[in-house]
Chains A and B, each alone.
Chain A
């Protein structure tokens, strides 16, 4: 990979740790304002539509059960899909990893004689960094989803699963369009921006003969592929070209056509706060005279079977990529998506990325959460993200070994808590040890006595080592002279 690709690619193998990357995001006030505004808007829409659905919890439970059932019988449904899709005239390819998937797509595109492709927004092709590989093979990819187009033209990276340009505001988008589309003039209204994109894209839709997509669902029973979208660009890509290549994670299969009843309801409400997506496309093989004549599906593993093999991590694959967890996450709210160093940001990214990297990269991600549980609360397939985060933290700890400084400290603490005598000794020791750090507080002038109760007491404003993180933004009141247990004993005497 070239150096420039490093700069523009979200790759967990080369990304800085989350705390490190977050520093840069936190300094970007515009980005944070954009993220807050966008996630607040989507969340409000979602909340309203979830509240109107009286059987929401039952729907979630259905969705969870179907997805969990699929994962327990994945080979059955994948083979059923393969045979049905093939019978209908499609071609199925199996890719063990990102490199194989890229090669398969490039070969198919070349065989189709393509030097350019149009693309439907797809996280899976982002995951395998397909556009770079196509470019290297002399094939230019045009993103046709509005947000993806903004990302592509802005030489940027997606920061959200559903709304990849969520970190950009209208004025920034206008600048990108003006510059990259070589427009003499452009208004700032959403309608103006959409019209500019429409003109730019329409010509591509009519010209380019090969399309690349992902998929929301593979339907085993019918050999169908389902994509839901809001802009109609997907429908264009699915119907106008001669060749269609869909790159799909192996976990995306559902058993029956009827299962869409559940998923189309929970996905649209969770993802965009709509009752139903404006465009719901399903195609099942080739139909003469209608749509693409060459249909290919690349079924991508890319470490998904490793995730599947882990009993506690497996639920991660239930994900239907709605991004409700990202919108609800108070950490994502502060940092946006890029800090996660992966195309999968937010809570789902924090559990998915390290598992897909087989715990060799992204080890800081399971810790990028306060375990507040907002993600689990909104997840339409009930992935217990906090539970998986803790499970992955355990794996990280086991990898680090007992001699890591943190591990030694945690072991010492655990030893203290295993004995009442040692706990008492540690409490006394901490009280003595804090003395050099304690500072007498000056009373706040003009404050009434009640609210000012804390002033005048001793506080710690600086702590050494790892605890320095605490005093970076917070003071700490000194440990009181008497512990509760000491008070209790005196009281009983």
Chain B
């Protein structure tokens, strides 16, 4: 299949290894990966913080960049949630404000072809075993947008359980938000920190070497907390685990 990657702005800038891992997994499964160079941001940060007017051109831009794709894969469940929850309304608003009226239909036509990365593997391709090897003790954090907005269910955990060598330990109160919440993390830094504290205790209790998730945004927050306490536990995006292969080291996997 011809798969078109939407990397997400923050992955592009801060977590390039995740993008590389997605490419590696998809190519290993025999798919062709494309990357439209004009892609930038889905508009979530602006939309969710209340700057909807600023988000509208970004919505239009995403549609222009990706509407000809066979399948769009996004290694960020919150970006996909933004698209599924708000793009229809955004397109209506653009049309209402005298902008491109065709966007309403184009959004509706594009959305069924947009997949979160693990969702693409489990639901579109029907896979649970992607042939990965990753000999570590790992716990999985269910990010809220993946859990509630996308309904990922146990898909990501099934993928992890099929990874050879991986020991999956379950996280207490897995459905509880880690406290990231985008601009919430800085606007309500104290509360965000208190929520994080509870999540960190749960992660440490598992005795896992690493905490994984489908969103680097939550992981950046969790990892920032783990690093501050010098816990010796780190975070890793699920794509980087699924990219793992026998006979390579972590640093090679990430390359």
Contacts and interface: CB of A to CB of B under 8 A. Distances in A.
Interface string A345-376: 00000000000000000000011111111101
A374 to B, nearest CB: 7
14 contacts: A367-B187, A373-B149, A374-B148, A390-B50, A396-B50, A410-B54, A417-B43, A420-B38, A450-B136, A450-B209, A454-B234, A469-B192, A473-B196, A480-B16
B223 interface: yes
A452 B220 CA distance: 16
Nearest to A27: B190
A195 interface: no
A413 interface: yes
Interface in B158-186: 175-177, 179-186
Contacts, number: 215
A394 B209 CA distance: 41
A444 B228 contact: no
Contact of A474 (B145, B196, B210, B233): B196
A186 interface: no
B191 interface: yes
A65 B17 CA distance: 47
Interface residues of B, number: 77
A410 B47 CA distance: 11
A315 to B, nearest CB: 14
Interface of B: 7, 9, 11-20, 23, 35, 37-41, 43, 45-52, 54-55, 57-58, 61, 85-86, 136, 144-145, 148-149, 175-177, 179-198, 209-210, 220-221, 223-225, 227-228, 230, 232-234, 250
A459 interface: yes
Interface stretch (A88-96, A260-268, A329-337): A329-337
B224 A470 contact: yes
Interface of A: 18-19, 22-23, 26, 32, 330-331, 333-335, 366-374, 376-377, 387, 390, 392-397, 407, 410-411, 413-414, 416-420, 423, 427, 430, 441, 444, 447, 450-455, 459, 461, 466-470, 472-477, 479-480, 482-489
A474 B228 contact: yes
Nearest to A472: B189
Task: Classify the interface of chain A: helix, strand, loop or mixed.
Answer: helix
Given A377-B148, A474-B227, A488-B23, 9 more contacts: A19-B191, A333-B195, A372-B148, A418-B61, A450-B209, A451-B210, A474-B196, A484-B7, A484-B20
B190 A26 contact: yes
Nearest to A419: B40
B51 A407 contact: yes
Contacts of A487: 16, 19-20
A330 B176 contact: yes
Nearest to B227: A475
A374 B175 contact: yes
Contact of A368 (B37, B188, B220): B188
